Structure 1
């Protein structure tokens, strides 16, 4: 089934779907899955939405990534509609991946517009990015009231960021710092101390810099969590994934 971006659905029509195409205003079609929370948790007046972004497609990243599948349960239990999607050129999604990630950031903005038109009454949005997806998530802007946007950056690929973004790392740094300085921002950063792509010393130094950016009156809310024994892939070894999910659950708006 193909969903048009300009169609505004009645709330009774919002349903669970998997691997269906959403057509954006740009003409791009993105393959997506929408999970609907239990009816008792889905507020009729103030909906909550989480949009999940997968790892780098060039290394096999897809919306059905086990980590994204794992975060779905706590999000649904907290009353979130959960939208996962394949970025451009992945699966059945049309278009071609970019080298810089900026085109994917624009796609995400258009997808969010579709979602808030379709799920009427959304007031709380969480942009959840895992690995390469966290790069794209970090570019997502805050939105005008009444929508509150929060960001989760999981296993941010700090080590390989330069070549993942065609050496535009400075742009990503500046955009994230600008976000942290905004008093409306709410950001959760989670990484493992056994990450295969970024050493824990580099992560710790980066996290210290982020906390400096967020310090002081009139700044955003930043939470940084380092999970002991966790790799980039959040395997079940050392119960790393379970502890990450608990961090997410405790933090969720």
Structure 2
């Protein structure tokens, strides 16, 4: 079968080009499966390495196996923003392939006006081209230990090395894309929200962490997970805010199966508006399906475009 051209095919097939990688964890013998989603257009040095879901599959490459042309191509793309995405709990089937990441986050970033129910030919006529929509943003998602092709295993209680792994993936992703990167955002969904907050802050000057968005964090569950941990979620969240010097965004649905609206409201009130910017979406459950998924994409776009401070924005979406 002929290899598809990611520049032309990706828009029509609701997909986005990415590299499949095996990256070192915070414990180097253990590698983690990752995907690096890239903005369009792709230079020729990268196109031949790109994996497109549904068309063909590539074998994930280890960091040391990336050839010089690919490394140079990544650095020459001029990526200015990297979004690091963390997935739901692996013990319950969570992975980097969760639709909240592969569909809602990726679509909000690269195809903000795209709809699975709309004829792509009509979209192309009335909206900016895919290259214009992609901007200069890359997304890196990964499987925690024991999920997919990632080595090791995930603990039943506590977070183990997972927060440190997120920070390591973040550092490697920025390193691959070079000195053009100006800012890093963190995106945590469900259990992944905990890792997003607990992960060590970047220490290198060239990795400026600017914004964080938490989607449906199961706050009550976190109390049990961190029972034996030295740092609890509320304390870590305040530390995170101090580092960002701006509110952490938190979006949740009124029909979330793990956490009630009143719990989220009370939590946000206890933390204070300077720490948490909470957004409630009516009728959305934990999985963000159907119309509620589109509302989540709207929140993601607002988060991406925000200055990060307490902008005026409705804290409820109907």
With the shorter chain as reference, the TM-score category is 0.7 to 0.9
State whether residues 251 and 281 of structure 2, in contact with CA within 8 Å, keep that contact through their aligned partners in structure 1: yes
Q: Identify the match of residue 87 of structure 1 among 120, 126, 144.
A: 144
Q: Which one has a larger percent strand, Structure 1 or Structure 2?
A: 1
Residue of structure 2 in register with 1:206 after alignment? 267
In structure 1, distance between residues paired with 2:170 and 2:296: 25
Q: How many residues matched?
A: 228
Identify the residue that residue 257 of structure 2 maps to in structure 1: 196
Measure the CA separation in 2 of the matches of 1:155 and 1:25.
26
- Conserved in 2, the CA contact under 8 Å of 1:129 and 1:152? yes
Candidates 230, 234, 244, aligned match of 2:296 = 244
Please give the TM-score of this superposition, normalised by the length of structure 2: 0.66
* 1:1-253 → structure 2 map (5 Å cutoff): 16-18=18-20, 20-24=21-25, 26-27=27-28, 28-39=30-41, 45=78, 47-70=80-103, 71-76=105-110, 77-98=134-155, 99-120=157-178, 121-143=180-202, 145-149=205-209, 150-168=211-229, 171-182=232-243, 184-212=245-273, 214=275, 222-236=276-290, 239-253=291-305
Query: Is the Cα contact below 8 Å between 1:54 and 1:132 reproduced in 2?
Result: yes
Shift of 1:184: 3.1
Q: SS in structure 2 opposite 1:117?
A: helix
What SS does the aligned partner of 1:179 have? helix
Q: Secondary structure at the match of 1:160?
A: helix
Q: Secondary structure at the match of 2:161?
A: helix
- Structure 2, unmatched stretches of 5+, are 1-16, 43-73, 111-133, 306-318
| Worse-superposed segment, 102-111 or 43-52 | 43-52
Which sits farther off after the overlay, 111-120 or 140-149? 140-149
Please report how far the alpha carbon of residue 170 of structure 1 lies from its aligned counterpart in structure 2 after TM superposition: 5.6
Q: Determine which structure has more spread, i.e. the larger CA radius of gyration.
A: 2
- C-alpha root-mean-square deviation of aligned residues, in Å? 2.4
> C-alpha distance in 1, partners of 2:282/2:256?
10
Cα distance change, pair 186–75 in 1 and its aligned pair in 2 (3 A): farther
**Cα contact 1:50–1:75 (8 A) shared by 2:** no
Q: Separation in 2 of the partners of 1:136 and 1:160?
A: 13
